[in-house]
A = this chain, B = another copy of it.
Amino acid sequence: MSLDHFDLALLDAVQRDAGISQLDLGEKVNLSSAAVNRRLKKMAAEGVIQGTVARINADALGYTLTVITEVEVETERLDLLDDMKRAFLACPQVQQCYYVAGECDFVLIMLVQNMEQYTNITRELFFENNNVKKFKTLVSMSNVKTGTCIPILD
């Protein structure tokens, strides 16, 4: 799918604020609201726009601790890796999980309410998994930047 500069401007706007009306969007990018409607609809149908979500204040729900965990595996057997991926996916405290090349094999970003909760999760995910050789924990003192905005207008 080809995206022109109107599409890019629309994407940039809605990835920052999906609440803005199509009328206001049209004003911002110089397009009628009907054109905005068509383009957004098309991009959603094509999967360029994957959906809209509300951003919730984690602190307000008691999730005040962000932890980054680097996991090193014992063997890279595919079925074992898949099992681990599944376990990470299923754990709601795991916000993000990357399978990486380098010294470690997985990097996890976790959001927990306190250290005790993190400890419990490490037991479940790492200590009770025979394929985890070791893991290293980095505690975030400050979440300098979070979000999922993609660079669009450069």
Q: Which residues of A contact B (CB under 8 A)?
A: 1, 3, 11, 14-19, 46-58, 60-61, 63, 66, 68, 85, 88-89, 92-104, 106-107, 109, 111, 136-152, 154
Contact = CB atoms under 8 A, between A and B. Distances in A.
Contact of A149 (B14, B46, B92): B92
A63 B154 CA distance: 13
Contact of A89 (B19, B136, B144, B154): B144
Contacts of A85: 142, 144
Nearest to A111: B150
Q: How many copies does the complex hold?
A: 2
A98 B144 contact: yes
15 contacts: A11-B61, A15-B54, A48-B56, A48-B57, A49-B55, A50-B56, A52-B52, A52-B54, A53-B53, A63-B150, A88-B145, A92-B149, A92-B151, A98-B140, A100-B138
A65 to B, nearest CB: 12
Given A68-B107, A92-B151, A139-B100, A54 B18 contact: yes
Nearest to A11: B56
B138 A53 contact: no
Nearest to A1: B60
A140 B56 contact: no
Contacts of A154: 92
Nearest to A92: B151
Contacts of A94: 145
Residue from A15, A18, A85 whose CB has the most chain B CB atoms within 10 Å = A18
